[in-house]
């Protein structure tokens, strides 16, 4: 049996997404910057995709900029805000994705900003009182707090963060890569300056994402070259990826409630089965369903002789899971998120992340395999 429980790293392509991308590859090969008929045809489908995305997010098409993915979008929002919006101070959390954390650390190292880390509690929740305190002591601050943590699934109340940022005239950016396509994002209701998305996290293609820039913010490109993306990102557009991104998000919004109920049910079921099979497991992060991303479950298992080889052993058994963020899966130093939570480093931690394609039978197989591995090597 082959089981894929690493959907926070990437998701399988939706068949309808493959279909629209294939059609575009076959029929729309022109360069969207060309002014002839072939170019105009491709420009039309790119702009149609932009309008689809904007309508779903309740934004203006002029506020949507296509990128190579979430990392580029995060970098663009951070670096250009510091340069163009007069930012001297930034706030983030020690649990942020490295696309944010490393970028801000580099900006501080170069002397461009002072960086502050907001406190988190033992479950990884952001201390909003401390955020307010940090903002009160620093003018013109850039705040970057992700909507949902990619490793432990904690949800941050970005609407509350937005209200605090407005109070102190701070610029607010949120990495929404893990929640895009899984929750409704209404940008008429959420007052925010920047959000980011990556298609491959919601059954779209890899190598394409977007940055939402609130119209009140005027920044310059991160990547210079041609006049693509209304002079905001040089380089020929990834047309087929853009088409796939828009279709994937459109499909997510159509059946979001159904998929959320199914996936939350799988997560709850797995928590119960793991607790029965392996007493003493610990759930990393916030275990409250209303405050946790329903697609992610991170657990610390009992100590075992094969702790360092657990993910490899699961792989041999036909189970794909992760020990943390897939973007740093080759790192020997482990997860910065779990270190920040002071998790027991002697206990192996596994992130299981779900999609609409997973089943209870797969959960049963994973729990049975984990139980056997832990009992045979305790």
Kind plus residue range of the DSSP H or E element containing 87:
none
Same domain for 112 and 25: yes
Residues 105 and 96: their CA atoms lie apart, in Å, by: 12
With H, G, I as helix, E, B as strand and everything else as coil, classify residue 254.
Answer: helix
CB 284 within 8 A of CB 338: yes
Kindly tell me if the per-residue pLDDT of 82 is higher than 90: yes
What per-residue confidence (pLDDT) applies to 238?
98
Size (the chain), residues: 378
Residues 164 and 157: their CA atoms lie apart, in Å, by: 11
Domain around 168: 15-254
Same domain for 42 and 178: yes
Domain boundary among 254, 269, 293: 254
The secondary structure of 144-171 as a DSSP string is: E--SB-TTT-BBP-HHHHHHHHHHTT-E
Catalytic residue among 165, 252, 327, 374: 327
CATH assignment of the domain containing 293: 3.90.1150.10
Rg (CA), the chain: 21
Mean pLDDT of the 351-356 span: 97
Virtual CA dihedral for 88, 146, 9, 277, nearest 10 degrees? 140
Residue 100 phi, psi (nearest 5): -95, -55
With H, G, I as helix, E, B as strand and everything else as coil, classify residue 178.
Answer: coil
CA 74 to chain centre: 10
The closest of 149, 237, 245 to 203, measured between CA atoms, is 245
Same domain for 103 and 238: yes
Same domain for 289 and 332: yes
Give the tens place of pLDDT for each residue, 119-132. Answer: 999 999 999 999 99
Residues 239 and 110: their CA atoms lie apart, in Å, by: 35
Q: 35 is written with which tokens? A: 């002014």
Same domain for 357 and 229: no
Q: Answer yes or no: 343 catalytic.
A: no
Instruction: Note the pTM of the prediction, 2 decimals.
Output: 0.95
Same domain for 300 and 228: no
Write down the mean pLDDT value for the chain. Answer: 94
Give the tens place of pLDDT for each residue, 258-283. Answer: 999 999 999 999 999 999 999 989 99
The closest of 4, 11, 44, 26 to 242, measured between CA atoms, is 44
Domain boundary among 211, 234, 254: 254
Same domain for 266 and 247: no
pLDDT band at residue 347 using 50, 70 and 90 as cut-offs: confident
Same domain for 234 and 114: yes
- How many CB atoms sit inside 10 A of residue 114's CB? 13
Same domain for 85 and 189: yes
What per-residue confidence (pLDDT) applies to 81?
98
Strand partners of residue 6: 353
Q: How distant, in Å, are the alpha carbons of 44, 76, 176, 184 from that of 99?
A: 32, 10, 12, 23
Strand order in the sheet with 171-175: 64-67, 209-213, 194-198, 171-175, 141-144, 89-92, 114-117
Count of the separate structural domains present in the chain: 2
Virtual CA dihedral for 67, 160, 125, 367, nearest 10 degrees? -70
The secondary structure of 39-62 as a DSSP string is: HHHHHHHHHHHHHHHHHHHT--GG
Instruction: Provide the terminal-to-terminal Cα distance of the chain, rounded to the nearest Å.
Output: 25
Domain boundary among 254, 282, 306: 254
The closest of 287, 292, 325 to 96, measured between CA atoms, is 325
Same domain for 265 and 215: no
Mean pLDDT of the 142-146 span: 98
């Amino acid at each position: 049996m082959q089981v894929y429980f690493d959907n926070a790293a990437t998701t399988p392509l939706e068949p309808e997404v493959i279909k629209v991308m294939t059609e575009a590859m076959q029929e729309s090969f022109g360069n969207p910057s060309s002014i002839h008929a072939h170019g105009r045809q491709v420009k039309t489908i790119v702009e149609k995709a932009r309008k689809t995305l904007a309508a779903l997010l309740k934004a203006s098409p002029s506020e949507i900029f296509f990128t190579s993915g979430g990392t580029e979008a995060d970098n663009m929002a951070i670096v250009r805000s510091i340069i163009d919006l007069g930012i001297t101070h930034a706030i983030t959390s020690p649990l942020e994705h490295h696309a944010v954390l490393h970028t801000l650390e580099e900006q501080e190292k170069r002397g461009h900003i002072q960086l502050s880390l907001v406190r988190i509690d033992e479950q990884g929740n952001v201390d909003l009182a401390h955020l307010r305190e940090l903002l009160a002591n620093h003018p013109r601050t850039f705040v970057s707090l992700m909507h949902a943590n990619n490793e432990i699934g904690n949800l941050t109340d970005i609407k509350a963060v937005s209200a605090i940022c407005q109070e102190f005239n701070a610029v607010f950016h949120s990495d929404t890569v893990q929640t895009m396509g899984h929750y409704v994002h209404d940008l008429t209701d959420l007052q925010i300056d920047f959000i980011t998305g990556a298609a491959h996290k919601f059954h779209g293609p890899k190598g394409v994402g977007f940055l939402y820039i609130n119209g009140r913010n005027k920044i310059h490109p991160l990547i210079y070259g041609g006049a693509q993306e209304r002079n905001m990102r040089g380089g020929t557009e990834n047309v087929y990826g853009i088409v796939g991104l828009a279709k994937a998000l459109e499909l997510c919004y159509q059946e979001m409630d159904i998929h959320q109920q199914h996936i939350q049910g799988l997560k709850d079921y797995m928590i119960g089965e793991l607790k029965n099979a392996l007493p003493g497991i610990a759930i990393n992060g916030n275990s409250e369903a209303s405050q946790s991303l329903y697609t992610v479950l991170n657990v610390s298992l009992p100590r075992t002789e094969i702790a360092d080889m657990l993910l490899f052993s699961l792989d041999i058994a036909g189970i794909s899971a992760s020990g943390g963020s897939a973007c740093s899966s080759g790192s020997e130093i482990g997860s910065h998120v779990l270190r920040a939570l002071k998790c027991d480093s002697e206990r192996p931690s596994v992130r299981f992340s779900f999609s609409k394609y997973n089943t209870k039978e797969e959960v049963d197989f994973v729990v049975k395999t984990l139980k056997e591995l832990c009992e045979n090597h305790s």
